[in-house]
Structure 1
Amino acid sequence: MLPVTNDHANATLIGRIWREGVGPALVRLDGDAVIDITSAEAPTMRDLLELDDPAAYARNAPGTQVTTLTDLVAGSVEGAEGLRLLPPCDLQAIKASGVTFAESMVERVIEEQAAGNADRAQEIRLKVQSVIGDSLSGIEPGSEQAMQVKAVLQKEGLWSQYLEVGIGPDAEVFTKAQPMASVGFGASVGLHPMSHWNNPEPEIVLAINSRGRILGATLGNDVNLRDVEGRSALLLGKAKDNNASCSIGPFLRLFDDSYDMEDVRRAELTLRVEGEDGFVMDGHSSMTKISRRPEDIVSQTIGRHHQYPDGFMLFLGTLFAPIQDRDAPGQGFTHKTGDVVTISEPSLGALTNTVRLSTECPEWTFGTGALMRSLSERGLL
């Protein structure tokens, strides 16, 4: 099955591919045709998103067909060296927001209370749920009601850093990866070898330019190391930013007459994990249940307080928090190397990756300097 949207004939879908002997190229999807639209006007995805009307430019830009979608997908496999899909971002910072779904906050509290110990999770889960139930849905972050809940939980000794950013006024926004360090469709995603309790996180990823304009959306897997982050908030950087720590793709769908923020707010994401051991897990995340407005998260990220001259990609968080047992009763889910993870959404396509240790994934070697040299050699700067 091709990883495209259910209406891709009408969608403005752009991406990046690796062309052997050439380097990274911007492409537009025209049906099954992959059109290279890289130009001096828009040599990078960052430059395209800085244009006044990126969708109109992408639809009308002259270009050359370099392959078909069918062949591109077939070539975009783990460890591929030739023509393949890259993540649809380049110079943008890669940011992520956490604990944006009240219904998944309970599991974040459990992670912290368990201090990264999966054996204790079920016992703590029952204690926490006896006080706050299965979720905190319906509470507006920063509201008077949220502050009343905070007071009750503090009295019970269950207040948590996750609840602070989940129902408090300030969103959690962190750096997930360096510019150009994410991976695309078909590649390996990495788990730090120190982690033994982890899971995928199916998310919508927004593309925002330097002026704070939200210009499109795609899919992402914000791989989560539950034990590392749960041990200490000060380990967040180690838990989040590693080799191949997240995937983005397959294409960026630009906002136009057929797709906009209202469609993002209605998005229904599905997740499937298929293990080499025969294990299968299905999950779901509905953007209709997000606790914070995506625009509010964006405004807390960029503004007079913080600028992003090359724009940024923003993971919006997930409702999904797996508790399905995989190995032993009460230990819940954790990845095994070789797991194939597919995140899909009808308007954004499907993003598929294979789970490896970050030390086994291909090393990240093509950074900003390499991109600038490549563009210069091609006469695009």
Structure 2
Amino acid sequence: MGAVSFDPGAHLPPDWRAATLLGRVDFGEGPSPVLVRDGVVHDMSRVAPTVSMLVEAGATDPSAGRAVGQLDALGLSPAAGPAPRLLSPVDFQCVKACGVTFAVSAVERVIEERARGDAGAALSLRARLEEQVGGSIRSVVPGSDEAAALKAALIAEGLWSQYLEVAIGPDAEVFTKAPVLSTVGWGDEIGVRSDSTWNNPEPEVVLLVDPRGNAVGATLGNDVNLRDFEGRSALLLGKAKDNNASCSLGPFVRLFDEGFTIDDVRGAELSLLIEGEDGYRLQGASSMREISRDPLELVRQTLSEHQYPDGFALFLGTLFAPTQDRDEPGRGFTHKRGDLVIIKSGKLGVLVNRVTTSRDARPWTDGIAAAVRQLAARGLVGA
């Protein structure tokens, strides 16, 4: 993406000036938490030195910070560009994700498992499973008596899978997507493993949750998935999901207020556009109205036996499961280096990333120790 500037008119929702936006910007000294309201960017680093601390304190009044200027006049660039740089909007929060929260994604995960990661073997499996499972799985409530009856029927037919268990069983799939401070933001390169041959983006709504378990806002995310790795074995989920630059968030977190609530998340419509340097073009969509579990139920399950003292970001899953062929018939879709991935949602804006390999993406070098040293050098925390 080079040094292309962030354009609020193109990359934020139409009502962005009426929204309260939370993010991170590097003005040249290191990452600072910022709040944007009425179009003005406020550096909040003297109020709270990190986004996680700002959220913990409930500090959503930008007037307590230092006004920097109008957002549309700052010329924000991606993380690899010149300052000021727009970064991923989270820092010390744990990054969690829920999988198989939509019926279509459940069917596709079963296909991955049965095909053992072979995209060519997936075509006939897809037809059989959609015929046997597709309609019935959409109509049941996870964990209900009807879901248990469907499970028994599918076991009898030899079609049961661990993925259907988390799709309609009582327990959601919740996993750790990325280490603290490793996520990339708007305009940055996003990575897939160099040895993966079947992979795709996963456009998702991501909730930001404070240490007390309250969802305080939402942003867009790309939960990059390696279908070949996870399809070979569910025990390879870590390698399928957590690689350098494999998790993007942004451009900002939109905080909940009178103009944006959890009901807007429940009703969110996401669109996806992939444009390849080879001329390939793929469009897709994901509707939160079709999610099997309520977003706040996913938050509850994430917190059921765990605490998150710095809060967490929670990917809510996706309906998008690309099957459109890219090269050979029956081989489905997979990324190629240089693909431009554009994720849009009306109330959250636009997240843009270009695909490279995790090996060639910008290395992740600034971890927790480096962040603490940097904050101390700026006088934002005690040395």
Alignment correspondent of 2:317: 317
Alignment correspondent of 1:47: 53
Separation of aligned partners in 2, 1:216 and 1:11: 11
Alignment correspondent of 1:331: 331
Separation of aligned partners in 2, 1:241 and 1:179: 12
After superposition, the C-alpha distances for 1:110-169 in whole angstroms (9 at most, x for unaligned) are 111111001101011122123223672121101111111111111111111110101000
Alignment correspondent of 1:210: 211
Post-superposition offset of 1:67: 6.9
Instruction: Identify unmatched segments of 5+ residues in structure 1.
Output: none
* Residue aligned with 2:220, SS: strand
Separation of aligned partners in 2, 1:245 and 1:159: 30
After superposition, the C-alpha distances for 1:204-239 in whole angstroms (9 at most, x for unaligned) are 000011111110000000001001001001000111
8 Å contact from structure 1 (residues 102, 135) kept in 2: no
Separation of aligned partners in 2, 1:38 and 1:183: 20
8 Å contact from structure 1 (residues 32, 68) kept in 2: yes
Separation of aligned partners in 2, 1:306 and 1:3: 35
Q: 2:23 aligns with which of 9, 12, 15?
A: 15
Instruction: Identify unmatched segments of 5+ residues in structure 2.
Output: 1-8
Is the alpha carbon distance of 1:136 and 1:28 closer, same or farther for their aligned partners in structure 2, counting shifts above 3 Å? same
Alignment correspondent of 1:34: 41
Matches within 5 A, 1:22-171: 22-39=29-46, 41-51=47-57, 53-55=58-60, 57=61, 59-65=62-68, 68-69=71-72, 71-73=74-76, 75-76=77-78, 79-80=80-81, 82-133=83-134, 136-171=137-172
CA-based RMSD: 1.5
Identity %: 53
Separation of aligned partners in 2, 1:66 and 1:361: 31
Alignment correspondent of 1:340: 340
After superposition, the C-alpha distances for 1:162-197 in whole angstroms (9 at most, x for unaligned) are 101010000000010001101000001110112100
Alignment correspondent of 2:6: none
Letter in 2 for 1:43: P
After superposition, the C-alpha distances for 1:297-340 in whole angstroms (9 at most, x for unaligned) are 1111114x211111110000001111111111111111101000
Alignment correspondent of 2:3: none
Q: How many residues align?
A: 373
Post-superposition offset of 1:61: 2.4
8 Å contact from structure 2 (residues 104, 321) kept in 1: no
Post-superposition offset of 1:71: 4.6
Alignment correspondent of 1:2: 10
Separation of aligned partners in 2, 1:135 and 1:284: 22
8 Å contact from structure 1 (residues 35, 67) kept in 2: no
Matches within 5 A, 1:117-266: 117-133=118-134, 136-266=137-267
Separation of aligned partners in 2, 1:311 and 1:100: 22
